[in-house]
Each structure stands twice: as structure tokens, then as C-alpha cells.
């Protein structure tokens, strides 16, 4: 079930526009798969604030086993992740480093977990006989990164865990189904895997939505089904920062302590380059005087 759509945003910035379009694409794939799912609740574009920290979560999925945070990343070109988990991307055949979206999502998950656990008595009912509420710490917390479908992923060099977390947008719904799938209450009892009831999921989602800023709250989230277009293949990707342009150095002549070696004058000398290197030509006698390298300086 889609409880919150992505907030509409208009930006003249190409990078921001590409990111917004990609988030809409991911939201579309999630909606198409889980619009009628009762036990998979999708909340797009969530904002939380706790202990002086703020986080904006692109896509939050609540399911019986726990929580899934999806970070959308519009990436054109190629993507690599090394053994240390460091990300790099190509743009117009130039490679450069970038922040890890996986690490970003993990930080968001930590903040969300602390926030919910702090306020759990505000939305969870007390467990009969135990006299305490459910928590959020013992449940699954997973993160994924949904990248552009036209990105080229170098999976052969990625750590296995990262490779399993990086998904192209068109396959994100399949991965979410895999993560959220349960094997029933008996399997949960045998493996001690806690599961949220439908009521608990509704309590969780209602609390999160109630705490959203006014401009980001959907009035009737259970019935909202806005018309959203299918992803466009030609959607521009977020461009990597262009590499700085380095202009070639220019050469200028330092003051000449020596005059023309032919006529002795120094007021009409012109710097030249020839077969044997730099020299100056005299405007009076047309004579040439060779220059040593130490008489030249680089500018720029």
C-alpha cells in the first residue's frame, strides 16, 4: 500500500531535476507492485528530526519483518565500488569519487531507529501480560540503493554485500519483495524472527505520517492514488561535477639585462622561437640574440 507519495518539486537546477525525476521513477515501480499490498507499506519522501539531527528518506518500506530504506541515485555512465566500499563514477569518460549512497541510507536508518525507539510508547500498544510495548531494535533494518536503469555497473569488482544492495530502478520492486517476504508464523517462531502484525504496521506508519512537516503531509494517505506517468527512458541523469579546466601555461619574457649582441640596443627586442630554442630579434639591425632558459618565466 502506498501511504505517501513523493512531494512534487520543481527545480531549474539540472542536477536537482534529474534527482527528482529518478525518485519519481522509483516511486512508480514501487506503486505498480505494492499499491494493493496490505503488509507492505510504502512512504515516499519522509523527513525526520531527532536529537538535533535531520534526515530526508527517499523511500521507506515497512513490512512484517521490519524496515527497508531505499536511497535513489540518478547516475549516468559507469559505477564502481572498491573493496573498501568507496564509490566512483564516470562522466564523459572522466572518473571521480562520490559519497556512498549506501552509507547515507545507513545513517538515515540509525536516526530513524533511534527516533522510533524513543517514541515507541506513543504509538505501540502494551503487550498483554508483559506490560511493555513493542520496539524497533530487534527487527530487520536493511538499506538499498536504486540507481538509474541506464547506468553501467561494474559488479565484478564490487564487494558482494554492496552488489546485493545496488539495484537498477526497474528491478527495485523485485528486490523489495525478496527482502520483505516472510515464511509464516511457524518459521518466525522457530527462527525467533519477530514479525509485526498489521495493526503494529499501521501504528508505525500513522505515527511517522503525523510527524511530517505540514507541507509534506498527505491529507488522505490511505486513499490517495494520484496519476503518475511511467518512467521515461530519456530522463536526464544527475551529472557529475565537471573536471576543472586547466589552461596551458603561457611564456613571457623577463626583463632583458643584455642588449642585442649585434648593435647593442635593447628598446626594440621581440621574443621569438626557432630551431635552436628561444631568442630575441632586434628591430633595428634584425640581429638575433639567443636566450638562456633561465631568462624565461611561466605565467599561469
Task: For residue range 73-83, list pLDDT tens digits in order.
Answer: 999 889 999 99
Domain boundaries, the chain: 2-216, 250-299
How would residue 219 be classed by pLDDT, with cut points 50, 70 and 90?
Answer: very low
Mean per-residue pLDDT, 172-196: 80
Kindly give the interhelix angle for 14-34 and 172-180, rounded to the nearest 10 degrees: 50
Note the pLDDT of residue 281: 83
Tens digit of each residue's pLDDT (9 = 90 or more) over 41-67: 999 999 999 999 999 999 999 999 999
Distance CA 15, CA 241 (A): 10
* pTM of the complete model beyond 0.85: no
Of residues 91 and 132, the one with the higher pLDDT is 91
Tens digit of each residue's pLDDT (9 = 90 or more) over 235-273: 556 655 554 554 444 444 444 456 888 888 878 888 776
First to last CA, the chain: 60
Note the pLDDT of residue 226: 44
pLDDT at 15 over 80: no
Of residues 185 and 201, the one with the higher pLDDT is 201
Mean per-residue pLDDT, 183-194: 63
What residues are paired with 141 via a beta bridge? 67
pLDDT at 221 over 50: no
Mean per-residue pLDDT, 157-169: 97
**Percentage of residues in the chain with pLDDT exceeding 90?**
54
Instruction: Tell me the H-state helices in 50-183.
Output: 101-118, 120-123, 160-165, 172-180
Tens digit of each residue's pLDDT (9 = 90 or more) over 92-137: 889 999 999 999 999 999 999 999 999 998 888 776 655 567 789 8
Q: Answer for the pair 163, 155: CB distance below 8 angstroms, yes or no.
A: yes
Note the pLDDT of residue 248: 47
142-180 burial, b if ≥16 CB within 10 A, otherwise e? Answer: bbbbbbbbebebeeeebeeebeebbbebeebbebbeebb
Mean per-residue pLDDT, 22-40: 97
Mean per-residue pLDDT, 215-225: 46
pLDDT at 68 over 70: yes
Amino acid at each position: 500500500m502506498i501511504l505517501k507519495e513523493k512531494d512534487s518539486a520543481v527545480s531549474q537546477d539540472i542536477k536537482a531535476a534529474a534527482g527528482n525525476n529518478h525518485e519519481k521513477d522509483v516511486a512508480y515501480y514501487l506503486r505498480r507492485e505494492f499499491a494493493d499490498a496490505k503488509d507492505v507499506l510504502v512512504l515516499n519522501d519522509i523527513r525526520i528530526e531527532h536529537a538535533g539531527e535531520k534526515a530526508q528518506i527517499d523511500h521507506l518500506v515497512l513490512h512484517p519483518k521490519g524496515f527497508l530504506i531505499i536511497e535513489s541515485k540518478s547516475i549516468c555512465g559507469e559505477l564502481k565500488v572498491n573493496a573498501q566500499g568507496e564509490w566512483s563514477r564516470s562522466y564523459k569518460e572522466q572518473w571521480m569519487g562520490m559519497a556512498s549512497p549506501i552509507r547515507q541510507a545507513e545513517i538515515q536508518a540509525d536516526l530513524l531507529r533511534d527516533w522510533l525507539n524513543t517514541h515507541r510508547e506513543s504509538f505501540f500498544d502494551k503487550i498483554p501480560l508483559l506490560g511493555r510495548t513493542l520496539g524497533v531494535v530487534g527487527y530487520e533494518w536493511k538499506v538499498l540503493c536504486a540507481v538509474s536503469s541506464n547506468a553501467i555497473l561494474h559488479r565484478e569488482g564490487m564487494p558482494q554485500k554492496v552488489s546485493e544492495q545496488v539495484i537498477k530502478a526497474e528491478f527495485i520492486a523485485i528486490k523489495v519483495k525478496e527482502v520483505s517476504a516472510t515464511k509464516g508464523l511457524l518459521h518466525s517462531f522457530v527462527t525467533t524472527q519477530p514479525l509485526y502484525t498489521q495493526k503494529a504496521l499501521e501504528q508505525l506508519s500513522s505515527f511517522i505520517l503525523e510527524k511530517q512537516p505540514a507541507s509534506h503531509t498527505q491529507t488522505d494517505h490511505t486513499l490517495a492514488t494520484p496519476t503518475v506517468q511511467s518512467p521515461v527512458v530519456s530522463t536526464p541523469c544527475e551529472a557529475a561535477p565537471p573536471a576543472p579546466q586547466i589552461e596551458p601555461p603561457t611564456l613571457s619574457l623577463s626583463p632583458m639585462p643584455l642588449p642585442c649582441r649585434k648593435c647593442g640596443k635593447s628598446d626594440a627586442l621581440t621574443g621569438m622561437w626557432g630551431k635552436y630554442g628561444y631568442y630575441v630579434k632586434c628591430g633595428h639591425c634584425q640581429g638575433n640574440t639567443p636566450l638562456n632558459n633561465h631568462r624565461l618565466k611561466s605565467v599561469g
